[in-house]
Amino acid sequence: MSQDKKFYFDFTSPFEMERQIEIFPKSLKEQFFIPKNDKFKMKIIVLQRNYLIIQNEKVSYKTNIQHTFQKYFNITNAFLEIVSHPKMGLGVSLTKNGVNFRFYGLVQQWFVYMKKWCIQSYFSNEYSIISLIGKGAFAKVFKIQRISDRKELAVKVFDKTILQCKDKLALLKEIELLRLMNHKNVVSIQEIYENDYYIYLVQELYQGGELHMEVMKNKTFTERKAFIIISQVVEALHYVHFHGILHRDIKPENIILREEGIIDQVILADFGLADYYRKDCKYMFTRCGTPGYVAPELLQDKIYDHKVDVYSCGILFYYLLVGKGPFDSNNYDTTVKANQNGHVDLTQFSFTNECLDLLRGMLDPNPQNRFTLDQVNLSPFFKKHTFANNPINHSISLESLKNKSHSQTHSLQLSPYQEQRYKQELNSRFAQYASPLQSPLRLKSPNSSPLTDSQHQSPNLQRVPIQI
């Protein structure tokens, strides 16, 4: 991007920070050469998620004692590029709010990691576009190929010229949350590019399509197959909630299959309505979600917490078993009214007792009595379908499913501090979290996301604050 033009993402705090950052033992730590007054000095640099920590050492002339002090840089949304020096070789350049910082050495690994948090400029130098795979009111989705290794990925391309201020805040919030995600069952972003006209979000390419398409093909799922999917969604929600985030839009359209027909590799997607949990429930708007999948306390304008996602997950569970949602109707007001009441009639079904008990626990209209995610995992239904010594095959399909268990492992990468917090979360998942932005997605059009085609959506449903 032209250096004389402001970054679209230029909204953050200053580059150099005054407050100290705790350094975790497992953080990346290397020695690099930093230019200073036309010379280069070797310094120890620590890379810890979205922070760079420069360690300096000085010897006091009076006491001859060596003192160590640090400088802290928040690299979030800094302009990132690879540079070279005739003597020092490759280096990394970071520019943010008019401040530039460079360091040289073996920077390739660090550059790959920092791409998630920073902004790059020349998308066409790194990727070639293969085909258009999706189109919405604000963005297009393309299948792309990385030039360096020919790996196929996906990119969401947003047109900056048509985004309004509120849309910008919504996009920034979604990116902020997605950057925190690093789990096999949760969507994330790999890198971000920006030029004068477009924003590019590079993500993994998922070939399997949306879960609701599988339901349309297969009508209903057996209890075992429903468990395979729901257990992964519950695991994903555990991870999302651990980061203090409410998803608030669990539905079949937002569950993606990594490969077509493979149900043991599902991805929780679309964080357009997600936000950091607040005890006071003071969000930009509180009524949001998809009618038919929303927890009743949210529609009743009550204070709510992470259990809204448990209820929506219960509706998803019901949908998989029955082939439709409990509140489905051709009339919007009827759907919302039934959803607001929240009562689901399960007396007409002949599911197993373990399955019915879990559905009742997840779909209890009273959030005080509703299951937590931990209770879901400990339910007899989950225990019945989980066999630790007999994990399921990693390529289970809808046509060849055997009675094997689901592996519960995931890719949490925690520091000692996070591990301690995680243990606390198991007892209480409702701690207050703060965020630089408190602006959930609120788009002009009443459809599901910036990438959803507005021509195929019912005008009163999907991703706008629900008005009753």
Sorting pLDDT into bands at 50, 70 and 90, what band is 4?
very low
The reply to whether 149 belongs to the active site is no
DSSP 306-338: THHHHHHHHHHHHHHHHSS-TT--SSHHHHHHH
DSSP 429-451: -------S-------SSSSS-TT
* Structure confidence at residue 440 (pLDDT): 27
Torsions phi, psi of 216, nearest 5? -65, -35
Catalytic entry in 4, 149, 159, 249: 249
Above 80 in pLDDT, residue 13? no
Radius of gyration of the chain (CA): 24
Q: Which residue type sits at 390?
A: N
- Burial degree of 337 (CB within 10 A; 0-12, 13-18, 19+): middle
* Structure confidence at residue 428 (pLDDT): 39
**77-81, 324-328, 392-396, 428-432: least confident range:** 428-432
pLDDT in tens, 420-441: 444 444 443 333 333 322 222 2
Comparing CA positions, the residue from 333, 269, 254, 252 lying closest to residue 299 is 333
Sorting pLDDT into bands at 50, 70 and 90, what band is 409?
very low
**Distance in angstroms (rounded) separating the CA atoms of residues 167 and 159:** 11
Tokens standing for residue 236: 């994903």
Is 156 labelled as part of a ligand binding site? yes
Above 70 in pLDDT, residue 398? no
Above 50 in pLDDT, residue 7? yes
Comparing CA positions, the residue from 169, 173, 124 lying closest to residue 144 is 124
Count each helix (H run) and each strand (E run) in the chain, helices first.
12, 18
Rounded to the nearest angstrom, the gap between the alpha carbon of residue 343 and the centroid of all alpha carbons in its chain is: 30
Which span out of 25-29, 69-73, 205-209 was modeled with the highest average pLDDT?
205-209
DSSP 27-61: SEEEEEEEEETTEEEEEEEEEETTEEEEEEEEE-T
Q: CA angle, corner 356, sides to 352 and 359, nearest 5?
A: 140
Output 439 or 156, whichever has higher pLDDT: 156
**Distance in angstroms (rounded) separating the CA atoms of residues 74 and 18:** 10
> Of all helices (H) and strands (E), which one includes residue 276?
strand 275-276
* Mean pLDDT on 313-329: 95
* Structure confidence at residue 367 (pLDDT): 96
Q: What percent of the chain has pLDDT over 70?
A: 77
pLDDT in tens, 169-184: 888 888 999 999 999 9
**Distance in angstroms (rounded) separating the CA atoms of residues 422 and 246:** 16
- What are the CB-based long-range contacts (under 8 Å, 24+) for 136-140? 136/447, 136/449, 136/450, 136/451, 136/452, 136/453, 136/454, 137/443, 137/444, 137/445, 137/447, 137/450, 137/452, 137/453, 137/454, 138/162, 138/163, 138/167, 138/443, 138/450, 138/451, 139/450, 139/451, 140/451
pLDDT in tens, 92-151: 999 998 889 999 999 999 999 999 999 999 999 999 999 998 887 778 999 999 999 999
> What is the value of pTM for the model shown?
0.78
* Structure confidence at residue 432 (pLDDT): 32
* Mean pLDDT on 292-314: 95
Total residues found in the chain within this entry: 468
* Mean pLDDT on 310-325: 96
Q: What sign does the dihedral 393-394-400-405 (CA atoms) show? A: positive
Domains of the chain: 16-115 (2.30.29.30), 123-203 (3.30.200.20), 211-456 (1.10.510.10)
**Distance in angstroms (rounded) separating the CA atoms of residues 156 and 200:** 6
Torsions phi, psi of 193, nearest 5? -120, 155
Q: Kindly list the distances between the CA atom of residue 266 and the CA atoms of 292, 314, 318, in Å, as whole numbers in the listed order.
A: 22, 17, 17
Question: How far apart are the two ends of the chain, measured CA to CA in Å?
Answer: 45
* Mean pLDDT on 282-290: 81
* Mean pLDDT on 453-465: 36
* Structure confidence at residue 137 (pLDDT): 73
Q: Which residue type sits at 53?
A: I
* Structure confidence at residue 64 (pLDDT): 61
According to DSSP, the residues that pair with 44 across neighbouring strands are 31, 55
Sorting pLDDT into bands at 50, 70 and 90, what band is 11?
low
